[in-house]
Chain A
Amino acid sequence: AQSVTQLGSHVSVSEGALVLLRCNYSSSVPPYLFWYVQYPNQGLQLLLKYTSAATLVKGINGFEAEFKKSETSFHLTKPSAHMSDAAEYFCAVSVPTGTASKLTFGTGTRLQVTL
């Protein structure tokens, strides 16, 4: 079975600083990987996804993530944080085998952006 681990349940950065949210995955077959963002009391919005094409994936709002098979990682980065980036971020994995594309989510990382 596949799983993801998000290191750090809370991350705080200053506005304009680099954002780095960590995600490591476990999967017996090449996975699909996702980052979602959730604002308070709202649903999840897809930021970006890796589906075995380019290993550096660019998403919305200036975020990007790099798939590193050797490190089983899919960390999310943004060069310069903005106050509007404050939210909870979820990493998720699925395994594209037949109809089994069920998403397994990490426990989330809450990003705080300070002035």
Chain B
Amino acid sequence: DGGITQSPKYLFRKEGQNVTLSCEQNLNHDAMYWYRQDPGQGLRLIYYSQIVNDFQKGDIAEGYSVSREKKESFPLTVTSAQKNPTAFYLCASSRSYSYNEQFFGPGTRLTVL
């Protein structure tokens, strides 16, 4: 079955540590996205990538980094510079950046201890 997988589902991190969230898709989609979800704030775009080896900052990129070395993979690193990293993180993909429908993964819940 085609889809988007995110791992792990739950992640705990100590303050000051970097952590990487995995996102893989087998839909052959060109575009991929990372969102952060906080209660009452909806989804906010962190980074997006239109094609392999290219990515752009979204609305709240500070304290995060990404890479897009393979079409199917778009990992997100939450660095120690992110002041309030506890949140639910969602990865999405779309056929292309000009195609509007996005498909979402199941999410990773990150908790900083």
A residues touching B (Cβ–Cβ < 8 Å)?
Answer: 9, 32, 34, 36, 41-46, 49, 51, 90, 94, 96, 98-99, 101-103, 105-108
Nearest CB of chain B from residue A38's CB, rounded to whole Å: 9
- Residues in B46-91 with C-beta less than 8 Å from chain A: 48, 50, 58, 88, 90
**Which residue of the partner chain B has the closest CB to A107?**
B42
A43 touches B97 (CB 8 A): no
Please tell me the number of chain B residues within 8 Å of chain A, measured between CB atoms: 27
Of B99, B103, B107, B109, the residue contacting A101 (CB under 8 A) is B99
Q: CA–CA, A6 to B81, complex, Å?
A: 32
The proximity string for B residues 90-104 relative to A, scoring 1 for CB distances below 8 Å and 0 otherwise, is: 101010011111111
The total of interchain contacts (Cβ-Cβ below 8 angstroms) comes to 58
* A-B residue pairs in contact (CB < 8 Å), sample of 25: A9-B40, A34-B100, A34-B101, A41-B88, A41-B109, A42-B106, A43-B4, A43-B6, A43-B90, A46-B101, A46-B102, A46-B103, A49-B100, A94-B100, A96-B98, A98-B98, A101-B97, A101-B98, A101-B100, A102-B45, A103-B43, A103-B45, A103-B100, A105-B44, A108-B42
Contact: A90 with B43, CB < 8 Å? Answer: yes
Of A41, A45, A96, A107, the residue contacting B100 (CB under 8 A) is: A96
Expressed in whole angstroms, the minimum distance between the Cβ of A9 and any Cβ of chain B is 7
Complex interface: chain A residues within 8 A of B58 (CB): 102
Verify A45–B104 contact, CB threshold 8 A. Answer: yes
**In whole angstroms, what is the CA distance A48 to B48 when docked?**
23
Cβ-defined partner of A43 (8 Å) among B44, B101, B104: B104
